[in-house]
């Protein structure tokens, strides 16, 4: 029982990272029906901004995370304006191919500029400590990741539900034409959505650096795909669904690694995607509208 509880603790911290990345996927899809496959690579950019903030400027982990979030928020807006906005009225497949192209562009630009090798987060930035609670071993990095992710999710929920910007985002998601008639700037709302989603991905990137202690230019591929699975699992376009899906994916991955074989954890994650698409394509919280992609 103690081992099972330990796996849950590990799964919650990993799931919090997936949930943050999944929120960006689901927010963008909810607004413009685009699967932004470059989202995982924006996370990678955020991880490197955090890394250089720590190593070059000697900041603490919280300042590094804020710097990564601000940088990637601007980055996300630029990507939306340059790559996605001209294709907004095009077919979905055109936008999807563009998203894949942006993803590859970011990865190989990072390899060209930074090199393909891994870089280690400085140990002094976040000294690892272990706490024993009722026989459980809880690392301070797990607490940092989980608490930071939950705080950011609560802030996002507040923005969506109680601010003017959040109301505009919900209005554009529900009916873009009606939102325009009500005086809402669709372009501005979409840009803000990309900024928020990219900032959350950047925070997740810094958390991945703390969690695994390394960063590299291709680090966004697998976490990005797993976060996409989490978004689909919870119901793509539904914010609470992305949160739940992220935690489910984190718990599932740690259980497979702990009780099975860690080599199978990626296969299980994508197996879940296949099952959910076969059984309930709209996800846990989604409603089947009969829409065909």
The whole-number pLDDT of residue 105 equals 95
Confidence of residue 288 (pLDDT cuts 50, 70, 90): low
CB 52, CB 260: distance < 8 Å:
no
- Could you write out the DSSP letters of every residue in 78-95? HHIIIIIGGGTTS-HHHH
**Tell me: the pLDDT tens digits for 178-190?**
999 999 999 999 9
Stated pTM of the model: 0.92
H or E segment and range at residue 59: none
- Percent helix, strand, coil in the chain, to 5, is 75, 5, 20
What is the token pair recorded at 256? 């497979």
**Tell me: the pLDDT tens digits for 65-124?**
999 999 999 999 999 999 999 998 888 889 889 999 999 999 999 999 999 999 998 877
- Please state, rounded to an integer, the average pLDDT across all residues of the chain: 90
Which residues make Cβ contacts (< 8 Å) with residue 30, sequence separation at least 6?
173, 236, 237, 238, 239
The whole-number pLDDT of residue 292 equals 42
């Amino acid at each position: 029982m103690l081992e099972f509880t330990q796996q849950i603790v590990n799964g919650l911290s990993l799931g919090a990272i997936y949930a943050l990345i999944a929120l960006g996927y689901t927010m963008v899809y909810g607004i413009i029906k685009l699967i932004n496959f470059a989202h995982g690579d924006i996370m990678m950019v955020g991880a490197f901004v955090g890394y250089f903030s720590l190593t070059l400027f000697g900041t603490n982990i919280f300042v590094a995370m804020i710097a990564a979030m601000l940088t990637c928020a601007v980055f996300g807006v630029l990507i939306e304006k340059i790559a996605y906005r001209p294709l907004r009225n095009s077919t979905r497949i055109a936008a999807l191919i563009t998203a894949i192209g942006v993803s590859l562009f970011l990865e190989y630009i990072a390899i060209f500029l930074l090199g393909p090798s891994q870089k280690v987060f400085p140990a002094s930035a976040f000294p690892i400590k272990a706490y024993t609670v009722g026989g459980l071993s809880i690392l301070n990095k797990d607490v940092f990741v989980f608490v930071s992710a939950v705080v950011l999710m609560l802030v996002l929920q507040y923005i969506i539900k109680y601010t003017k910007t959040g109301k505009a985002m919900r209005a554009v998601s529900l009916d873009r034409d009606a939102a325009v008639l009500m005086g809402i700037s669709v372009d501005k709302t979409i840009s803000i959505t990309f900024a928020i989603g990219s900032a959350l991905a950047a925070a997740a990137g810094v958390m991945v650096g703390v969690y695994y202690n390394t960063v590299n230019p291709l680090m966004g591929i697998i976490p990005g795909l797993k976060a996409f699975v989490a978004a689909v699992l919870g119901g793509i376009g539904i914010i609470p669904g992305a949160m739940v899906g992220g935690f489910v994916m984190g718990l599932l991955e740690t259980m497979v690694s702990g009780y099975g074989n860690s080599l199978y954890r990626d296969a299980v994650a994508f197996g879940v995607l296949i099952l959910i698409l076969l059984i309930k394509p709209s996800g846990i919280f989604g409603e089947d509208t009969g829409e065909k992609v």
